[in-house]
Structure 1
Amino acid sequence: MAKKYWDEKFEIMNESDMKAWQLQQLKQTVAWVYERVPFYKKAFDNAGVKPSDLQKLEDIAKFPFSVKTDLRDNYPFGLCAVPMSDVVRIHASSGTTGKPITGPYTAEDLNQWADLMARGLWAQEVRPDSILQNAYGMGLFTGGLGFLQGAMRIGCAVVPSGAGMTERQIMLIQDFGTTALCCTPSYCLTIIEKAEKMGIDFRKTNLRTGHFGAEPWTVEMRTEIEARSGIHAYEHYGLTELMGPGVSFTCEYYNIHINEDHVLPEIVDPGTLEPVDLGEEGELIFTSLQRRAMPMIRYRTRDICALRRDKCECGRTLITMDKILGRSDDMMIISGVNVFPSQIETVLMEFEEVEPLYQIRLRKKGYIDHIGVETEVKAAVYQSGQETLDNLCKKISSRIQQVIGINVPITILPPETIERSIGKAKRIIDER
């Protein structure tokens, strides 16, 4: 009988034992960076704390945060805690807004990362007899190689197809008998749309699961993917700064379990930066617990969500996080109202006439910011006449106003106007 959990010891560890483990690892990590990384020594000293001040988990709140600009200011390896002779791989973010964020790894870091990716994939039905098609880009981006090494740890057959060449992706799914697909959720929708136009139903293939990450997506988007393809759509969450994907994963009940034996999560109020209670929404903070090359201390992810200790039917006791509502730096403030792209997406997915493709366009009229949403509808709806389209725009706009409290004009574009994604979809176009 196949094992239920990849790493039973930690996946079903009771809370008190987990906290004892976390405190032990946290003490070691804080001392490690204080001794080896000048940035952290200076930051701790300026905050008036030392590693010896960490006597219980709650004491982590005494320590200073780290943020993305700290990595850029210390580019490329100023936050590295080991000599380069101990570094065996270097990943990096895209660097579209400046210098990239670098992620060096020791051999042990890579070994742990592979195991965490295997843990998540195992929870999502991947087994040694699976055929996993990895349609993430292979390169500096952590996603491609992260999924590759997790699948290899399980021992299944891997098809490293890489991103793009959508018709070839579909051919490989058919010809190779692919059972599991890894890519961004928006690219999965691009693949599904292309397959539908080619007259191919994924229900008649061996494809059973999708393993998605690298961009925020809603429950409604997951429902859309599953309804159109017949697969189970699972999630992986991570950041280049921490390790890449592998920070958390969904189980078969779609709860997002954090690998809290490797990362210590906190939620803080985005305004006061004070810790909040379980179940309260705020900014997600992570501290590395076992990483050696570049551990992060109280790293501000800018992601907004809540943590929960609810019992999961899968049996895992790992703490769970809500689906990311949005990023604090993606939050749009329009007429004094906080708006996240996920709120727009959730409303659009309520309307069966609408395709899961949209763009939010921000403009400035005088001194006032204005928001508009462009989306596509199904071809038959688009051809049904302008009156039908106008009525649909009014319904969607009215529903968005009910949800977020402001008027958002809707523009319906001709089919295939919005650029299809092969990686992360661009949702916001800021013309201000």
Structure 2
Amino acid sequence: MSAERKASSIAAYLEHRGKLSAHFASAEDLERLPIVLTKDDLRRNYPWGLLCVPKEHVHQYHESFGTTGVPIASPLTREDLEAYVEEILLTPFDLGGGDLVLVRFPYAISVPAHLFHRAAQARGAAVVAASSYSAISPPARVLRLVEQLGVTVLTCLPFEAVRLAHFARWQGYEPGKHFRTLRAVCTAGEVLGPAMRRYIESLWGAPVHQFYGSTEAGNVAYSCGRGSLHLAEPFFRATVVDEPARSARRDGRPGTLVLTTLRKEALPLLKYDTEDWATLNPAETCGCGDAHAVLEILGRRGEHYDFASRSGKDGKLRLLHTSVKEAMYELALERGTSPFFRCVRTDERLVIRLESEAPDPAAERWLEQRLGVDVELLSVRPGSLVDMASLSATELVQKPKYCH
């Protein structure tokens, strides 16, 4: 689709966004549209270029971290924010009165902390607004809050759940036994595969409930009791398209996830390219009883390594970064290795630095078999990748004092 046609489609959509029913008589009509919006479109129009309501109707403003440069704006009307919370509340997790929810997401600029905060309170739960790591809320203080307040639900990035549990061990606690009131961990903001989920559950002795979304879209999916992600269908229409033809896949195979928001007001998304690699299957493929489609997030498009096929035939082996992460958590579950690693591709080999007391040739062979590529597993000093001592350091936070 040319830039001119794309701009025309965006303009037409924004002009007639309140009359979608007249233009699209059915879901099939919507699916026939090409991709209309991309992340680059949102960045180019930052911050107000695609705003579809008067600015005075904006109730709350968020944006992405902007790690790739210009951030993506997410202005929300009051109704948008309420819908974001309702998307969280589709979860079958029985959050409610009597729960004390510690929110370990950052409250600054990004949206997850605010959504979990409001969703918990909507269910009658109390909230501990700990936020992410800072001088005010270092890991030691968070663990003290979990223990002394009797926190029942921890919400955070998957990696933060891992790091916080290992910090607790470093301080002499066993998270699964010491923090007895904790009954669940809710995660978002990072792809969570089955192995990483099981690893977190083994650390904390509590089930993990996963949520998937983005700042600009909201909470797109939630996990069921079986661990599958289910699309929040009252709020989104989703398709998975193949590359490079960009035609909808109906065979359950991986492709790019494309979303249309159904209730957003301030910045609605029409056939939006999320840049996430995913599969989409009917609800019945899960068997949990949830009526919403099953969504599996495999990783970010473009975040992969390409290797020559080891079979000697022409062709490439594509290894997703998330597949490497899953393998490392499988290794941690099976062999008790550290979850703290760094990975880089060198020529036709994957070089992985893993915190370890000594080299582990058996683990290296296991990874080669699991990933299907040559692996060099390097042992690095424990604490060199994730330094628990530095996490334990605290700063004295004081209000300014002007008169002495």
TM-score range, shorter chain: 0.7 to 0.9
Aligned-pair distance for 1:392?
3.1
Matching residue's letter, 1:175? Q
Structure 2 unmatched ranges of 5 or more: 1-6, 309-315, 389-404
Q: Which runs of 5 or more structure 1 residues have no equivalent in the other structure?
A: 1-36, 422-432
Give secondary structure in 1 for the equivalent of 2:266: coil
2:155 is the alignment partner of 1:182: yes
SS in 2 for 1:293: coil
8 Å Cα contact 1:139/1:145 also seen in 2: no
Q: CA deviation at 1:334?
A: 3.4
- State the percentage of identical aligned residues: 24
1:338 paired to 2:318: yes
Aligned to 1:64: 34
Q: Contact 1:39–1:79 at 8 Å: present in 2 too?
A: no
Shift of the 391–148 alpha-carbon distance from structure 1 to 2, 3 Å rule, reads same
* Cross-structure match for 1:347: 327
* Count of aligned positions: 360
Contact 1:133-1:158 at 8 Å conserved across structures: yes
Deviation sequence 1:270-292 (CA, Å, 0-9, x none):
22110011522211111000111
2:319 maps to a residue whose letter is V
Pair 1:358-2:333 in alignment: no
Corresponding position of 1:399: 369
**Distance in 1 of aligned mates of 2:344 and 2:387:** 17
Aligned counterpart for 1:231 among listed residues 189, 206, 212:
206
Q: 1:342 to 1:96 in 2, by over 3 A?
A: closer
- Any idea what SS the aligned residue of 2:147 has? helix
**Runs of 4+ with deviation above 6 angstroms:** none
How far residue 53 of structure 1 moved from its aligned partner, in angstroms, is: 4.9
- Cα offsets for 1:166-224 (capped at 9, x unmatched): 11111011001000000001011111001112222333420010000101122111111
CA RMSD of aligned residues (A): 2.3
Q: Deviations over 1:55-106 (max 9, x none)?
A: 2212223323211000011111111110101111110011122111000111
**CA displacement at 1:151 relative to structure 2:** 1.0
Q: Distance in 2 between matches of 1:252 and 1:397?
A: 30
Correspondence 1:303-322 to 2 at 5 A: 303-311=276-284, 312-322=286-296
> CA 1:144–1:38 in structure 2 vs 1: closer, same or farther (change >3 Å)?
farther
- SS of the residue 2:375 aligns to: coil
Alignment partner of 1:142 out of 102, 106, 111: 111
Match of 2:397 in 1: none
Give the SS at the match of 2:366.
helix
Distance 2:114 2:193 in 1: 25
- How far did residue 108 of structure 1 move? 0.8
Please point out which of 130, 147, 157 is paired with 2:99: 130
Alignment partner, residue 109 of structure 1: 80
Q: Is the 8 A contact 1:267 1:275 kept in 2?
A: yes
TM-score (normalised: structure 2): 0.83
Give me the whole-angstrom Cα distance separating, in 2, the residues matched to 1:177 and 1:397: 40
Q: 1:161 — aligned with what?
A: 130
Give deviations 1:334-359, integer Å, cap 9, x for gaps. 34331112211222233323211221
State the 1:294 CA deviation.
Answer: 0.5
Q: Give per-residue Cα distances to partners, 1:344-394, cap 9 Å, x unaligned.
A: 12222333232112212245xxxx5754222223xxxx2xx5xxx252353
Report the Cα offset of residue 54 of structure 1: 2.2
Alignment of 1:250-289 (within 5 A): 250-289=223-262
Q: TM-score, normalised by structure 1?
A: 0.78
- Aligned equivalent of 2:399: none
More displaced 10-residue stretch of structure 1: 266-275 or 410-419: 410-419
TM-superposed deviation, 1:268:
0.5
CA distance in 2, matches of 1:306, 1:145: 28
How far 1:52 sits from its partner (Å)? Answer: 4.8
